[in-house]
Amino acid sequence: LKSIAVMTSGGDSPGMNAAARAVVRTALYEGVKVWGIRDGYHGLLEENMFEMESKDVGDIIQRGGTFLGTARCKRWKTPEGRMLGYQHLVDRGIQGLCVIGGDGSLRGASLLSQETGIPIVGLPGTIDNDVWGSDYTIGCDTAANTIIDAINKLRDTASAHRRVIVMEVMGRSSGWLALVSGISGGAEYILVPEEPYDLDKLCDDMKNAYAEGKRYILVVVAEGAGNAQEIGDFIAKKTELDTRVTVLGHIQRGGSPTVIDRVRASQLGEQAALALISGLSDVVFGFSKGRVVSIDLHDSVNNKKQLDPEYLHLAKVLF
């Protein structure tokens, strides 16, 4: 192809900038025109796009968020909306599109490709690390490190007061962030949407642990595993232990990306541009066992990623 476009869509994640930068610079290096679309599908429908030069992606690799902007767009869920977006691409001679976003954004991309045949390459951009076929998504490493910083601070004060700390982290349908931050933060309990848990038993165990001299307990709860405040209230009532709840919230989305997120996002951006230029379509680039892999776009959105059983086991052993 001779002219491609790139957008970021859905929830932002640290490293999206590095990915978009790599798409743009790879395309220019290969002598291909590249357009930036602002604010995801919403911007495409509003024709909010511009042809990019190398300097447009200068000074952004170190920034969280996305310089292109992102949005949620209801109209994209309709075939008419997607057809209009397609027209806006065709009008500018854009022959292929790279969508950087989460599950929902990739689903929207998959429909556009099915309905119009325009070449599409997806990159998994979400802190949740929940895109099927890849063991990594852009931003998950930075978010996990942000959570670890918070856990370290909470441990100091929890230990001083012999408290139970219940901490809610992001992940409405995926417990990946809770699991890895719980393992690396040394949490006593990790509650994830994918695994059932018994709160009564957990409270009994906690009381025993305190009776044996435990100074504090950290419970990491993924959003989708239950309401942290309600869980905290239940624990406080049942155990009579001094219990505090912290909801980390949108802090998890921000921050300067880690080395891992910058390097991997750059590798994925390069592959996405090269794939589009060579006429490939309907693929998502991700990582498996440390290497870049390509995944079928439709398989990726039609399958639900499972939590790594080895991590789940590790969490149980280390508790």
- Asked if residue 253 belongs to a known ligand binding site, the reply is yes
Of 6-14, 16-24, 168-176, 249-257, which segment contacts ligand ADP by CB under 6 A? 6-14
39, 128, 130, 141: which one is catalytic? 128
For residue 72, state whether it binds ligand ADP (rule: CB under 6 A).
Answer: yes
Q: What number of chain residues touch ligand ADP (CB under 6 A)?
A: 17
Stretch that binds ligand ADP, among 51-59, 70-78, 85-93, 263-271 (CB under 6 A): 70-78
Structure-token match 């767009």, residue found: 73
- Supply the Cα-derived Rg of the chain in whole angstroms: 21
Q: Which residue is nearest to ligand ADP (CB)?
A: 104
Alpha helices, DSSP H, located in 50-139: 79-91, 103-116
Tokens representing residue 149 in the block: 């910083």
166 forms bridges with which residues in the sheet?
219, 245
Q: Is 141 a catalytic residue?
A: no
Does the footprint of ligand ADP cover residue 9 (CB under 6 A)?
yes
Chain positions 86 to 125 lying near ligand ADP, rule: CB under 6 A, are 101-105, 107-108, 111
Provide, rounded to whole angstroms, the least separation between the CB of residue 270 and ligand ADP.
Answer: 22
CA atoms within 13 A on the CB side of 224: 17
Smallest gap, in angstroms, from Cβ of residue 109 to ligand ADP? 8
The CA-CA-CA angle for residues 178, 291, 123, to 5°, reads 65
Q: What residue type is assigned to position 107 of the chain?
A: R
Tell me which of 5, 44, 76, 94 binds ligand ADP, using CB under 6 A: 76
Among 97, 74, 70, 75, which Cα is nearest to 11's? Answer: 70
- Based on CB atoms, which residue is closest to ligand ADP, 77 or 162? 77
**Beta strands 291-296; 283-288: pairing state:** antiparallel
Q: Is 214 annotated as a binding residue?
A: yes
Determine whether the annotation assigns residue 23 to a binding site.
Answer: yes
Q: Distance between CA 38 and CA 54 in Å, rounded?
A: 17
Please name the residue that has the structure tokens 């435990």. Answer: 214
Q: Residue 50 burial (CB < 10 Å; 0-12/13-18/19+)?
A: exposed
Nearer to ligand ADP, 107 or 163 (CB): 107
Q: Do the annotations mark residue 186 as ligand-binding?
A: yes
> For residues 111 and 217, which CB has a smaller minimum distance to ligand ADP in the complex?
111
310 is in an annotated binding site: no
Question: What's the distance, CA 285 to chain centroid?
Answer: 14
Does 14 contact ligand ADP by CB under 6 A?
no
Q: Which residues bind ligand ADP (CB under 6 A)?
A: 9-11, 41, 72-73, 76-77, 101-105, 107-108, 111, 126
Residues contributing to the annotated binding site for ADP: 21-25, 155, 186-188, 214-216
